[in-house]
Homo-oligomer: A and B are copies of this chain.
Amino acid sequence: MEINVLKKVLSANDAVAKRVREIFLEKRVFAVNLMGSPGAGKTAVIEKTIELIGDKLNIGVIEGDIFSTVDAARIAKLNTPVVQINTGPFGGDCHLEAGWIKDAASSLDLEKLDILFIENVGNLVCPAEFDTGANRNVVVLSLPEGDDKPVKYPLMFRVSGAMLVNKLDLAEILQVDMSHLKENARKVNSSLEIFEVSALTGEGFNLWTEWLIGMANKKSVK
- A70 shortest CB reach to chain B, Å: 5
Q: A39-B149, A66-B153, A70-B151 are in contact. Are A94 and B123 (CB under 8 A)?
A: yes
- A72 shortest CB reach to chain B, Å: 12
With an 8 A cutoff between CB atoms, is A85 at the interface?
no
- A126 shortest CB reach to chain B, Å: 5
Q: CB-defined interface of A152-163 with B at 8 Å, one 1/0 digit per residue?
A: 111100000000
With an 8 A cutoff between CB atoms, is A111 at the interface?
no
A35 to B208, CA, bound (A): 33
Chain B contacts of A94 at CB under 8 A?
Answer: 94, 123, 125-126
Contact of A142 among B91, B144, B152, B154 (CB under 8 A): B144
With an 8 A cutoff between CB atoms, is A211 at the interface?
no
Count of this chain's copies in the oligomeric assembly: 2
- A76 shortest CB reach to chain B, Å: 16
- A123 shortest CB reach to chain B, Å: 6
Contact-residue bracket for chain A: 35 or more
Q: Is A37 touching B5 in the complex (CB atoms < 8 A)? A: no
Contact of A144 among B39, B92, B129, B153 (CB under 8 A): B39
Write the chain B residue with the least CB distance to A70. Answer: B148
Q: Is B123 touching A154 in the complex (CB atoms < 8 A)? A: no
Write the chain B residue with the least CB distance to A146. Answer: B39
- A106 shortest CB reach to chain B, Å: 24
Chain B contacts of A52 at CB under 8 A?
Answer: none
Q: Is B126 touching A126 in the complex (CB atoms < 8 A)? A: yes
Chain B contacts of A3 at CB under 8 A?
Answer: 91
Write the chain B residue with the least CB distance to A144. Answer: B144
Q: Is A153 touching B39 in the complex (CB atoms < 8 A)? A: no
A211 to B111, CA, bound (A): 58
Please name 11 pairs of A and B residues whose Cβ atoms are closer than 8 Å in the assembled complex, sorted by A: A37-B39, A37-B124, A38-B145, A39-B149, A68-B148, A68-B151, A70-B152, A94-B94, A94-B123, A121-B125, A122-B153
Given contacts A38-B149, A66-B153, A92-B129, 6 further A-B contacts (CB under 8 A): A37-B122, A66-B155, A68-B148, A123-B123, A125-B126, A170-B170
